[in-house]
Structure 1
Amino acid sequence: MKTQFTIAAACTLAAGFATAQEADRSDWPSSFTVGTASQGGTYFAYGSGWANLVGDELGISGGAEVTGGPMQNMALVHTGDLAFGLTTLGPARESMEGQNPIAPGLAMDNACAIFPMYQTPFSVTALSASGIDSIESIPDGARIGFGPAGSTSDTYFPRMLEELGVSYERRNGGWSDLGGQLQDGLLDVIAFAAGIPIPAVSQLEVQTDVNIIPFTDEQQQQLIDTFPVSEFEIPAETYSSLSEPANSVAMWNFAIANCDLPESLVNAVVDVVMSDNERMVNIHRSAQATIPENASQNTVLPWHPGAARWFRENTDVEISDDMIHGG
């Protein structure tokens, strides 16, 4: 299956770029912005990279914007304040059901999926000097940084730790800022939810000794049974602090677009991203999962018609009519 996708992508690469150049651009914007998350996190690195790549290939100006993460991105893309954004499927579902805290009661159904990104693992990090090396050893009332308010981490990790019996003082902020606070002793733990390797964790490892704390098999299963996450294992080679793979749970990420964007534009964007995975991996290692067959992981968001057309024409991924916006 993977070989078929690879061959299909290679065969359509040149034709796809030619089509993008020949497409009617009369309704295309002259520039676009991608909603990411805080600096120091994977979303910002990944989103900035693909915005620049797509902008260069299509000959329009593309850039990234620092945001509060998936919940805010769903809101901004839904309203059209941003053309594109990045989200995880848990916050996407809550936003579509009117449970986004930015606008409670508003069904954010004008944000469409355009391509799969990667899985977001949930992991806990503490300084080795703290003695915290397991979920059970997190002290009562620990000061825990959960990332930017409204991010996937901030939305789900507090609930997860409560489910596992952890009590805490909640702190929010960008990943780089929280990493600095952990190093300065102002935080006891950071609960990360981001694509790996997380830039802030890699930076911490250079400066000090850290513990990347896995879930036990029982804790992992408890979280899978309670939340919209799946089993995941952080490979040992991801961080120098890991001597063996670490049990985790994860949630899928998808790039999204305002559903009213021109079909030809979104089709061209998807073609740039999906037709050459090596370029995406050069942006961020997590993009190894940014491959066409993972489009099947979207069971939540409606597909943008331009994206659905690309997957139907170039892959064996099945997208039903009722999963396409306006279909």
Structure 2
Amino acid sequence: MIFKALTVTLGLAVSAGMAQADSINMNLSGGNPGGLWSLLGAGMDRAVKADDPAAVITYQATGGGFANLALLAANRTDMGLVHDAEVKLGLNGQEPFKAPITNLQAIGYMYNWAPMHFFLEQSIAEQYGIDSIDDIATSGAPLTIGINRSGNITSDVAVFMLAQAGLDEETLTANGGSFVRAGANEQGDLMQDGRIDMATNGIFIRHSSFRAIDENVDVVLLSVPQEVIDATNEAFGTAPFTIPGGSYSKQPDDVQTMALGAMVVATDQMSDEMAEKLASGFLKNIDEIRNVHNAMKALNPEILVSQTVLPFHPGAAKVYREAGLIE
């Protein structure tokens, strides 16, 4: 009897160990410790736990998407949150990457509604007749333009879009202007203090930094020519976006621009089983991700599979295919 009981106990222990080994236990490289991406990490962890209480997704703060792609390329993290535009640069081996990254596979899209905004002080816009970003170069206005810090994809996108509209740094300097690199909240402060004339960034509509600018400075939201939108989407794998009229106090009409999105990316080292469990957890328990912040309320199964810059991991693709979301 003692031998039989011991055998049963050992059998249960082995079974429990196997179940634990089969549970998700992964790291997710994100961004700032207190930012939206950290909230997404917590939501993803809850989503997989809803199917398996032993599952764990551990969020790791990093320098952001570019850093996460470097970690993925070296197989030093299980998953990473990255912008679609960053993935496109990584796949092509463009700066800041020295060679194409070839081991990336998508798990799911988290959002695609972070549009590029171009706010200009209203008095300058009226003085120089500027209502679109393609008016800036020919206007001769000596603008001090805020763009995000080096290493943030929105700074790359802003510089690209302005250059496509005729305003490269040489032209801006010749007009007596300059670029000032500053983060989102810093740009709000700089604009309120009159230290920059224009703010650019690609984040959610009415983000706190945009609200601060809109509420404390007389600004207009510049339009973006369609050819600039098209060229940007081609270069960065992004998508067209409409900022609805009335989003800001002096913006009566819709403004067409483009938007960045963020996605969860793994590598070809992840097993099909683990990718399947991740995708299944995200899909079945999507409310756990949606509920992390009001900005995520628009997430739905169709958006989860809507990225186009990267093949889905075979395990994730199986889940989405069986759900009728992809072919």
TM over 0.5, yes or no?
Answer: yes
Q: Residues 277 and 288 of structure 1 are in contact (CA less than 8 Å); yes or no, is this contact kept in structure 2?
A: no
Do structure 1's residue 180 and structure 2's residue 189 form an aligned pair?
Answer: yes
**Residue in structure 1 matching 2:39, options 22, 26, 49:** 49
- Distance in 2 of aligned mates of 1:241 and 1:23: 60
Q: Runs of 5+ in structure 1 lacking a partner?
A: 1-21, 319-327
Could you say if the C-alpha distance between residues 82 and 213 of structure 1 is closer, same or farther in structure 2, counting changes exceeding 3 Å?
A: farther
TM-score by length of 2: 0.73
* Equivalent position SS for 2:214: helix
Q: Runs of 5+ in structure 2 lacking a partner?
A: 1-16, 50-54, 173-177
Aligned runs of 1:229-240 on 2, under 5 Å?
Answer: 229-236=238-245, 238-240=247-249
**Residue in structure 1 matching 2:117, options 119, 123, 129:** 123
Q: Residues 118 and 286 of structure 1 are in contact (CA less than 8 Å); yes or no, is this contact kept in structure 2?
A: no
Deviation readout 1:249-280 (Å, 9 max, x if unpaired): 23444221244234444333333333355444
Q: Residues 85 and 255 of structure 1 are in contact (CA less than 8 Å); yes or no, is this contact kept in structure 2?
A: yes
Deviation readout 1:168-197 (Å, 9 max, x if unpaired): 423333222232222222222222122434
Do structure 1's residue 144 and structure 2's residue 140 form an aligned pair?
Answer: no
- Distance in 1 of aligned mates of 2:79 and 2:205: 22
Could you say if the C-alpha distance between residues 182 and 164 of structure 1 is closer, same or farther in structure 2, counting changes exceeding 3 Å?
A: same
Aligned residue number for residue 19 of structure 1: none
Q: C-alpha displacement at 1:158, in angstroms? A: 0.7
Aligned runs of 1:211-226 on 2, under 5 Å?
Answer: 211-215=220-224, 219-225=225-231
- Distance in 2 of aligned mates of 1:300 and 1:27: 30
Q: Residues 28 and 81 of structure 2 are in contact (CA less than 8 Å); yes or no, is this contact kept in structure 1?
A: no
- Distance in 1 of aligned mates of 2:18 and 2:320: 18
TM-score by length of 1: 0.73
The alignment covers a number of residue pairs equal to 287
**Residue in structure 1 matching 2:291, options 282, 297, 302:** 282
Q: C-alpha displacement at 1:52, in angstroms? A: 0.9
Q: C-alpha displacement at 1:29, in angstroms? A: 6.8
Aligned residue number for residue 86 of structure 1: 81
Q: C-alpha displacement at 1:75, in angstroms? A: 1.8
Could you say if the C-alpha distance between residues 317 and 99 of structure 1 is closer, same or farther in structure 2, counting changes exceeding 3 Å?
A: same
**Residue type of the alignment partner of 2:79:** F
* Equivalent position SS for 1:274: helix
Computing the radius of gyration from Cα coordinates, the structure with the larger value is: 2
* Equivalent position SS for 1:303: coil
- Distance in 2 of aligned mates of 1:157 and 1:23: 50
Aligned residue number for residue 59 of structure 2: 63
- Distance in 2 of aligned mates of 1:147 and 1:81: 27
Q: C-alpha displacement at 1:85, in angstroms? A: 2.6
Q: Residues 220 and 231 of structure 1 are in contact (CA less than 8 Å); yes or no, is this contact kept in structure 2?
A: no
